[in-house]
Every structure is written in structure tokens, then in C-alpha cells.
A and B are shown apart, each in its own frame.
Chain A
């Protein structure tokens, strides 16, 4: 008779088979694949030609778009992450108060996160429209002239950031959960010592929330670095390549221009880029994250 461990092991591998197949075919092979393809010139139709590091050399020396793309991606991602964190933290602090209709307000802030981004991008593009759009109408009350939101390279990225921040209701919900975890006794202690709301915020709430801030920072950084759908619907990388984010450039090179080698080189650099930024974030984390009991 088989022992319990033998049965466990056999069952484990049967149960894990789909996940292991996924790991092999959707992660491991593709990682090696993307590196190998990046060393070739390949349109997908004829046989790939091995060209060594030429694609990478091109990226850093002659590809005019690539440098733009890195700068645009960083600008957008940092802008969207920082603005999104400020917005979601302030809204969650307000939503943590006792006010009427709280449940309704909380659910409203989350809706933009769950609707198809193509649908919401379309209405935003109409609100940004320069002749008849509502944003320019609002500005007219302030005496500001019409702005070409999506056609002016100074405003295109901020416009995409505003739309992205609008869609970041998930961050609010996570902050709210973090706020529930701040012990009331600590806040009462501040009151007994004669502290006001600012002291509570600065010395209790912010330190207690740092792990949640870190989590939100990390997740929204990874998501925003890969921004694709808003660019695809609204700007297609225009105006003047100001919104040519890396995920979109990779898509354009690979699937529109059928330049798989070049696109794979972009993917590899993009991957390293994401890893470096994530590593920097992790490296700084021990200086500002407060863990209770440490």
C-alpha cells in the first residue's frame, strides 16, 4: 500500500500540472524566447536572421523613438503614481470620517476602476475635445483660453494622468482598509497629550500607513509603466511622440510594423527598466516604511 506522502506527492503534481504548464509555456519559454528573438531580424514571415546585439545597439544609438519613449513612460508613470497616491490617500482620509451616505460615496469612487477602459477613454476624449469639450468650457469661466488637451505636447501626458488618476479607485479602497487598521488607542493617546488632528496624521496615521503606501506605490508603478489602452484609444503616441509609452511602442513595432526582433529588444530593455525601478523602490523602502514592533 502506498504511503500518505506518496499519494500526496502524486496528487500534488496532478493538481499542479496546469500551473506548471502555464509557468513553462507562458513565462519561462517566453522569457528565453524574447531574448533570442531580440537577437534577430525577423518579420514573422521569412526565417529569422541572427544579428547579435544590433537591435540593442540601434535602440541606444539610432532609434530616435526609443529615447523619447523611455522619457515619456517615466514622466507618465511617476506623474500618475504620485498624483494617484495623493488623490487616493486624501479621499480615503475623508471617506474614513463619519458622514452620511458613506457606503454610496465609497462605491462611486470605485466604479471608474471596473468599467472597460476603452469606453471611459472615449468619453474622456470628448471631454478633452478642444472646440466643444467640457474642460475648455470650464476653463472659459476662469478666463483661460482654449487648450488643445490631447493635441498639444505640453498637455497630452498630464491629460492622460488625470484620466488615470480618475480610474484609481482601487487605491482608495486599499487605503481605507489600511486606515481601519490604525489602532484607536494611539489616536486617543495623541489627544490626551494635547495633540491636534495634524499631529495624529503626521505621527500616527502616516507611519502606520507606510506599508500600505508602499504596496500601492509598487502596484500602481508596475501598472502605469505598462500603460497601453489610453494611448491606443486617445493619442496613438502623438502629439510629437509625447505619449509614445514603451508598451505602446513595443506593440507598434511588433504588431503593426511586424518588426519582431526590434520589438523584442524593446521588451527586454523594458523588463530590465521595470526591474530596476522596482528594485530602487524596495531599496529605499527600509528607510521610510514603519513596521510595528520593530
Chain B
């Protein structure tokens, strides 16, 4: 592309920087408010910079046991993540590599379930879990990950597997490897980028989920971070410094994970967007 003139380049840069500042602003505002007293927060016109009251965090932790919620959220997220990666890789391998009767049928069925809105199936699924007495446990939130791991993930992993030459697994097959061994020793190492992408998105999806925990988890000490935060806001509606400190803590894990896996996030979006 021809370089735009210096003038336009400057204009574009200024616009981008301004919008970027606006995009980042809510995060600044969250952290800033979390370091103020409630009187300072409730001042008009607003005070832009805080007085750095870091003591708000230990105080918030005494009423908002973040560590507990973090542990709860990990208890759901980590097993689910394992389930999604294992079962969606297995299904993807089947669709990418094996020939069997009804293959097209199953593929269409699995992929079209991708378009199924959560809010449509949620009542019957809730009733199934409640009829076997598993409501108010993490089981209903974890098990779906082990049941195929989501159509979109199967689709993404399959697309990536199709780019790997079949000669690789033919060779392993000649050496007497079975399909599980081919998948584990030959394919998985080669599709690491897509596994990381799927893993990061799955993690974020489970981490940020609110509807699932709201419906299945009722005891306070079993709440996930998002759920606890929503409850905390309704319960401590006026203590904004504590609410802001709790909100800041709740977004930190996602932001840290994002900066670690940034490349894969952006690649993953592109991958899922363009293959769709």
C-alpha cells in the first residue's frame, strides 16, 4: 500500500491514540476509584487521580474473599479446560482423518449444534441436573466440557489438522501405531498453536461465564469470581471503593493471561473468523 502523506498519517495516529485512550479509560477509572475513599469517589466534579489508598485492597479482601472465589473459579475452569481439549481433539481427529459410515451426518449434526443458543436449552438441561440432585455442585458446569468440548472448537481443531500432510500418520500407521498413538505422538505436537488458541478462549469463556454459575450455584462460599462480584455489588451497593477494588481484582487474571497469550488470542480470532 502506498504510504499515506505525512498529514494523513498524523491525523490517523491522533484518532487512533484518542480512541485507544477512550477504550482504556474505564480500566483506568476502575483502578483509580479502587484507590480512593468513598468521599473522594463521591465528589463532583470528579477528582482524576487517586490518593493511592492501597489499604482499600486488604480491607476489601476481608469482606470479599477473593482467594476463595479464585479457587472456586479455577475448580470449574481447569477441569473443563482439560475436558474441552481432550474431547474436542478426539472428535476433530475423527472428522479429519477417519473414514466411517455416517461421517457426514455426524459432522453436520455436531457443527450445526454450534448455532444453538444457550438460552434455549438451559431450562431442560437444568431440570436434568436437578432431577439427579446435582444442582449446587460444580458438576453441571464441568461435565459439558467433557462432552465434545463445543462444536466451534472441534471445527477449529479439525481445520488445523487438515493442513497437516497425511503422509505423517501413514508412516506412523506403517510402524504399527494405533490411532490414539498417532493422535498423541504425531498430530498433537503439530497442532499446538490451535490447541493454545482453543485453550485460551475456553479458559476465558468459562472464567467469564455468569449465567451458568447463577443458575447452578447457590451457596455463597461456592460462588465464582463473576458471580461473587455481581452479588457483592448488589449487597454493598454504596461502598464503591470496595466494589471497584473487587472489580479490579476480578479482571487482573484475564488481563495477565491476555498479555501472556496475546499472539494466540489474535491468531485465534482470525482463524475462527475467516474459516467461518
Contact = CB atoms under 8 A, between A and B. Distances in A.
Contact of B226 (A22, A37, A114, A118): A118
Given A126-B244, A191-B2, A9 B251 contact: no
Contact of B29 (A44, A134, A260): A134
A84 B128 CA distance: 37
Contacts of A98: 1, 3-4, 9
A115 B44 contact: no
B117 A122 contact: no
Interface residues of A, number: 96
A13 B265 contact: no
B270 interface: yes
A235 B268 CA distance: 33
Interface residues of B, number: 97
A73 B60 CA distance: 36
B255 A233 contact: no
B24 A132 contact: no
Interface string A239-267: 00000001100110011000010011001
Contacts, number: 292
A173 B272 CA distance: 11
Interface string B234-276: 0000001001100110110011011100100110011001101
Contact of B148 (A18, A132, A215): A18
A109 B20 contact: yes
Given A19-B91, A132-B41, A12 B103 contact: yes
Interface of A: 5, 7-9, 11-13, 15-16, 18-23, 25-27, 29-31, 33-34, 37, 44, 91, 94-95, 97-100, 105-112, 114-120, 122-124, 126-127, 131-132, 134, 137, 140, 166, 169-170, 173-174, 176-178, 184, 187-188, 191, 197, 212, 215-216, 219, 222, 225-226, 228-229, 232-233, 246-247, 250-251, 254-255, 260, 263-264, 267-268, 270-271, 274, 278
